[in-house]
């Protein structure tokens, strides 16, 4: 006789019960490229202008970033988050980039004239490899999706920033931190 | 020996990036559409678009020829999963007429990290795959359809995709070409 009371229709088999994968799984690049292509088309069909499209792509990237943040800090950093700005940026440039794209980002630079601004430079971002931007789309850079990933990783770890993608030396991600983040970082250094 | 470089194969990409990107897409669709049925349809359509282009890549890479029979097709589909997602679904449950089989998945990079909340039971999370199969087969003159009969995300032990052959498509020759 079955006299249990069903609360949920799905038996809870939480993903937390499984051990965390090492993250070395791979899928074919063609697969990813075509999926990304569908994602871009879908976004494009729902907006009218290039800036809107960029925003939409960035939002999608943010969804991904928020999940990567936990994943990488649990797996790579023994659950300890970075609390220094430069270390956080270096973590993105090296650990995160190696995990996601198989190699470090090409360059990390600090703007000369504005201490709030950093540049992360990538000659050929993975997502742009098979994308040729039509003339009427002007300065569209689909790597804004990656910029979204970076932005949400920074924001969710307490380094509030705005990240944008630009066509410069390949693709340059411009990271602009809020004033308060810079001030806090300086305070920590003084201690 | 050294894992130091962690340099991925140039033609491969980290599966977590793929998984999470797909997840972001599905969750965006769930936000944009009112009901799960529309999302399922949209995923199928996206899969179709992927399939009609992916078959080109498949043929180029494997140098495979025309299928002899549907069993042959099943094996080639299986090989496709290995090539593109790095998984080998089991081919099983052939119908007696030989026009229907199942692919059973133990693991699947698409569903890693995924849990369906109770209000998403109508969602066929991997429906993109049914579209991919339809699109890819259509480009090699086969009309097939597929649907999920079991789904690990909904508490089943395995995920089972049923694939059915409908008909051979004849090449439509433009008028006057004959």
Q: Which residues of B touch A71 (CB under 8 A)?
A: 16
pLDDT in tens, B105-127: 998 899 989 988 888 889 999 99
**Residue B85 contacts A where some CB pair is shorter than 8 Å:** yes
A79–chain B Cβ distance below 8 A for any pair: no
pLDDT computed for residue A13 by the predictor: 65
B130 CB-near residues (< 8 Å, 6+ apart):
B44, B47, B124, B145, B146, B147, B148, B161
- Whether the pLDDT of residue B5 is over 60: the answer is no
Q: Point out the residue among B6, B10, B50 whose CB comes nearest to the CB of A38.
A: B50
| Cβ within 8 Å, pair B13-A29 | yes
Mean pLDDT of B46-70: 94
pTM value?
0.90
Distance from chain centroid for Cα B155: 20
Q: How much is the ipTM here? A: 0.90
Q: Do residues A92 and A135 make contact, with C-beta atoms less than 8 angstroms apart?
A: no
Q: Band of the pLDDT at B4, cuts 50, 70, 90? A: very low
Instruction: Report the distance separating Cα A32 and Cα A41, nearest Å.
Output: 14
* B14 in contact with A, Cβ within 8 Å: yes
A130 interfacial to chain B (CB closer than 8 Å) = no
Confidence of residue B176 (pLDDT cuts 50, 70, 90): low
Which residue, A77, A73, A84, A173, is CA-closest to A123? A173
**Res B23 pLDDT > 90:** yes
Q: With DSSP H G I counted as helix, E B as strand and the rest as coil, what are the percentages for chain B, rounded to 5?
A: 45, 15, 35
State how far the Cα of A155 lies from the Cα of A174, in Å rounded to an integer.
14
State the CATH class of domain B15-168. Answer: alpha beta
Query: Which residue's entry shows tokens 């340059």?
Result: A172
Asked if residue B33 has pLDDT above 70, the reply is yes
Q: B12, A29: Cβ pair inside 8 Å?
A: yes
The pLDDT assigned to A11 comes to: 59
In the prediction, which pLDDT does B34 show? 84
Domain edges within chain B: 15-168
Q: What angle do CA B31, B130, B145 make, to 5 degrees?
A: 135
Give the model's confidence band at B2: pLDDT under 50 very low, under 70 low, under 90 confident, else very high. Answer: very low
Residue ranges in chain A whose pLDDT is less than 70: 1-4, 8-13
Supply the CATH classification number for the domain A29-190: 3.30.1380.20
Domain boundaries, chain A: 29-190
Examine the pLDDT at B7 and tell me if it is beyond 60.
no
Q: Does A46 touch chain B (CB under 8 A)?
A: yes
Give the pLDDT of residue B173.
67
Question: CB A28 to CB B21 under 8 A?
Answer: no
Q: Quick one: pLDDT at residue A94? A: 95
Question: Which one is predicted more confidently, A3 or B142?
Answer: B142
Residue A67 and residue B15: Cβ atoms within 8 Å? no
Q: What is the pLDDT of residues B77-100, one digit of tens each?
A: 999 999 999 999 999 999 999 999
What is the number of CB-based contacts under 8 A between chain A and chain B?
131
Cβ within 8 Å, pair A103-B46:
no
CA of A11: which chain B residue's CA is closest? B155
Q: Are A31 and B84 a contacting pair at CB < 8 A?
A: yes
Give, for B1, the enclosing helix (H) or strand (E): none
Q: Which residues of B93-123 are buried (b: 16+ CB within 10 A; e: fewer)?
A: eeeeeeebbbbbbebbbbbbebebeeebeeb
């Amino acid at each position: 006789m079955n006299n249990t009371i069903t609360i949920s229709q799905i038996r809870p088999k939480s993903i937390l019960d499984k051990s965390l994968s090492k993250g070395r799984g791979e899928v074919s690049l063609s697969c990813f490229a075509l999926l990304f292509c569908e994602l871009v088309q879908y976004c494009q069909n729902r907006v009218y202008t290039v800036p809107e499209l960029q925003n939409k792509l960035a939002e999608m990237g943010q969804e991904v970033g928020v999940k990567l943040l936990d994943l990488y800090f649990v797996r790579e950093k023994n659950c300890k988050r970075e609390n220094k700005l430069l270390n956080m940026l270096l973590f993105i440039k090296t650990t995160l980039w190696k995990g996601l794209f198989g190699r470090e980002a090409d360059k990390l630079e600090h703007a000369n004239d504005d201490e709030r601004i950093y540049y992360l430079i990538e000659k050929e971002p993975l997502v742009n490899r098979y994308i040729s931007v039509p003339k009427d789309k002007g300065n569209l850079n689909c790597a804004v999706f990656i910029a979204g990933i970076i932005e949400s990783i920074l924001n969710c770890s307490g380094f509030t920033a705005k990240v944008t993608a630009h066509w410069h030396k390949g693709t340059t991600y411009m990271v602009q931190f809020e004033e308060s983040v810079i001030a806090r970082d300086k305070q920590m250094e003084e201690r | 020996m050294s894992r130091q470089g962690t340099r991925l194969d140039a033609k491969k990409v980290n599966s977590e990036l793929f998984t999470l990107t797909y997840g972001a897409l599905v969750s965006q669709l769930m936000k944009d559409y009112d009901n799960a049925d529309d999302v399922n349809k949209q995923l199928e359509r996206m899969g179709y678009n992927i399939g009609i282009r992916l078959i080109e890549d498949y043929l180029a890479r494997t140098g495979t020829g025309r299928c002899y029979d549907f069993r042959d097709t099943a094996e080639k589909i299986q090989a496709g999963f290995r090539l593109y997602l790095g998984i080998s679904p089991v081919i099983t449950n052939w119908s007696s007429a030989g026009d229907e089989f199942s692919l059973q998945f133990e693991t699947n990079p698409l569903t890693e990290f995924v849990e369906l909340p109770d209000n998403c039971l109508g969602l066929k999370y991997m429906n993109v795959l049914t579209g991919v199969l339809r699109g890819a087969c259509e480009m090699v003159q086969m009309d097939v359809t597929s649907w999920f009969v079991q789904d690990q995300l909904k508490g089943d032990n395995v995920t089972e995709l049923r694939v059915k052959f409908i008909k051979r498509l004849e090449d439509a020759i433009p008028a006057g070409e004959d």
